[in-house]
Amino acid sequence: MHTVGAAGVEIPALGFGTWQLKGAECEKMVTAALGAGFRHIDTAEMYDNEEAVGRGLKAAKLPRDEVFLTSKVWSSNLRDGQLQHAAEVSLKRLGLDYFDLYLIHWPSNDTSTREAIGALNEVRTRGLARAVGVANFPVKLIEEAVEASEAPLATNQVEYHPYLSQAPVLDACRRHGLSLTAYCPLARGKMVDDTVIGEIAEIHGRTPAQVTLRWLIQQDGVIAIPKTGNPDRLEENLGAADFTLTDEEMSRISALTQPDGRIVRMSGEPEWDT
Ligand SMILES: NC(=O)c1ccc[n+]([C@@H]2O[C@H](COP(=O)([O-])OP(=O)(O)OC[C@H]3O[C@@H](n4cnc5c(N)ncnc54)[C@H](OP(=O)(O)O)[C@@H]3O)[C@@H](O)[C@H]2O)c1
């Protein structure tokens, strides 16, 4: 599988999402994902599963430097001092010495971007994270974060799938050297019932999930982190890495965007670009 280089780290283009996986199921699925070939795992302090993710990693018995682990600090912990403490506690739960990538999970209306990004940079300079970045940042906040950050930012993790265009955000990420990590890459499973995706899948002898994930990771600088609790779907999702869509198919899928395609909504969310 190809990697996406940003801020000095190489991020595997497909990662395994763990939101909603908990306890023994999470542990088992993380080990199974690594066994199937995933080398990138996505968690967060808010998912309440970091201990289980850590146990799953340990059980897979891979050298630490072969796995790319991302976690995120929740938006109520962004003050200087609080954020660094939250990072230490997350690492302890994971049983790790460092994150490969540590992200601000959501911007906060209470803490300035400058303060949060300063604290995030300290996590990196103290060696607790190889790289740092943000999530759910619209263009205006990306510009603020890039301006405030001493270290280059590696990614902006946002909702992205064929029903939600992220053209302005992707453009800003590329301009500033960030990758874009697509969460909800399968639109929480909705993409597998789409007629156009189904037609293209049939042409390639692939599944709709593979075509959707392929559309994402075939775009320059884009990473996708599908979640599944079904071990049989791990290899299927990894299969997105080894075929190619034509330019015309890429455009047909891009045209599926919908004005109300956004799934994840939060109270106090920033003003989105699309
Ligand atoms: N930064 C943020 O604010 C944020 C927000 C949301 C999510 N995330 C991250 O992004 C990850 C992915 O997002 P998500 O979990 O919300 O949505 P998703 O990956 O788009 O969709 C997951 C859903 O798709 C189904 N699915 C997975 N593979 C499939 C396949 N091959 N065929 C058919 N259905 C399939 C899963 O069902 P089964 O489990 O039954 O297979 C599950 O219901 C999360 O786990 C989390 O790590 C980040």
Residue type present at position 241: A
Give residue 31's pLDDT.
Answer: 98
Does any domain span residue 209? no
Q: Per the domain annotation, does 231 fall within a domain? A: no
Q: Which domain holds residue 178?
A: 3-184
Nearest atom in ligand 1 to 233's CA: 31
Cα–Cα distance measured from residue 57 to residue 148, given in angstroms and rounded to the nearest whole number:
33
Place of tokens 């906040």: 141
User: Residue 3: what pLDDT?
Assistant: 98
To which residue do tokens 């970091």 refer? 50
Q: Which residues contact 246 (CB under 8 A, 6 or more apart)?
A: none
Any domain includes 35: yes
CA of 186 to the centre of ligand 1 (A): 6
Is the residue at 190 inside a domain? no
What pLDDT was estimated at residue 257?
98
Q: Tell me the pLDDT of the chain (274 aa) as tens digits.
A: 999 999 999 999 999 999 999 999 999 999 999 999 999 999 999 999 999 999 999 999 999 999 999 999 999 999 999 999 999 999 999 999 999 999 999 999 999 999 999 999 999 999 999 999 999 999 999 999 999 999 999 999 999 999 999 999 999 999 999 999 999 999 999 999 999 999 999 999 999 999 999 999 999 999 999 999 999 999 999 999 999 999 999 999 999 999 999 999 999 999 999 9
Q: What is the CATH number of the domain that holds 167?
A: 3.20.20.100
CB-CB contact of 56 with 48 (8 Å): no
Gap between the Cα atoms of 177 and 9, Å rounded = 12
- Report the predicted TM-score, pTM, of the whole model to 2 decimal places: 0.99
Run of H or E including 36: helix 23-36
Query: What is the pLDDT, as a whole number, of residue 39?
Result: 98
The answer as to whether 264 is a domain residue is: no
Q: What is the pLDDT of residue 70?
A: 99
Tell me, yes or no, whether 49 lies in a domain: yes
In a domain, 8, yes or no: yes
CA of 71 to the centre of ligand 1 (A): 16
CA of 84 from ligand 1 middle (Å) equals 28
Q: Residue 83 falls within a domain, yes or no?
A: yes
Report how many domains make up the chain: 1
**Top mutation candidate among 26, 161, 183 for ligand 1, by most atoms within 8 Å of CB:** 183
Residues with Cβ within 8 Å of 87's Cβ and at least 6 positions away in sequence, in order, are 73, 99, 102, 123, 128, 129
